[in-house]
Amino acid sequence: MTEQDQTQQHQEPQDQDRSDAAGIVTALLDRWSDGIRRRDLAHIAAQFTTDALFQGFDPEPAFGRDVVSAYYGKQPAGLTADHTLVRATRLADDAVLGYAAVVFHRPDRDVPVYLTVVAVREEGRWLISHYHVSRVG
């Protein structure tokens, strides 16, 4: 057994879970931001559960994929989103929590936010079930 194998074997379970959760959240946010870049509303909405809680910059929270699609549909053409994962935690076998720093690049200005997501695994696919942004500054 190599030293690396011994190190991996002796990692704390929560470290392994944290790493796995980070990969899950990062991959999900990559798909989400790719849809934003391509302005593919169906693709963006497909990254959410059918009953997802969605709290963007609108004053009231809303629910479901139709709301997600409508929200991104009213955003300006050319919008992109860069994300950096701050923390990810596995909540259960089929649930992870992610917290990321996101910068929405609008044609007129950049909008930095913190994004909290809860992702759940449905039929083998990770989807956002809770989405909440908070403006920075």
% of the chain surpassing 70 pLDDT: 86
Half-sphere exposure (CA, 13 Å, Cβ side) for 20?
14
Q: How far apart are CA 9 and CA 17, in angstroms?
A: 13
Mean pLDDT over the full length of the chain = 89
Tens digits of residue pLDDT in 93-117 = 999 999 999 999 999 999 999 999 9
Residue 73's Cβ-count burial label (10 Å; 0-12, 13-18, 19+) is exposed
Which tokens hold the place of 11? Answer: 């990692």
CB 133 within 8 A of CB 57: yes
Tens digits of residue pLDDT in 9-19 = 333 334 344 45
pLDDT of residue 59: 86
Q: How far apart are CA 50 and CA 45, in angstroms?
A: 9
pLDDT of residue 19: 54
Q: How many helices (H) and strands (E) does the chain have?
A: 4, 6
Which tokens hold the place of 55? Answer: 């709290």
> Which pLDDT band, with edges at 50, 70 and 90, does 46 fall under?
very high
Provide mean pLDDT across the span 23-40: 97
Residue with more model confidence, 14 or 41: 41
**CA distances (Å), origin 87, targets 56, 111, 113, 118, 119:** 20, 20, 15, 12, 13
**CA distances (Å), origin 39, targets 9, 44, 108:** 43, 8, 17
Residue with more model confidence, 42 or 14: 42
Q: Which H or E run contains 16?
A: helix 13-38
Tens digits of residue pLDDT in 54-85 = 999 998 889 999 999 999 999 999 999 999 99
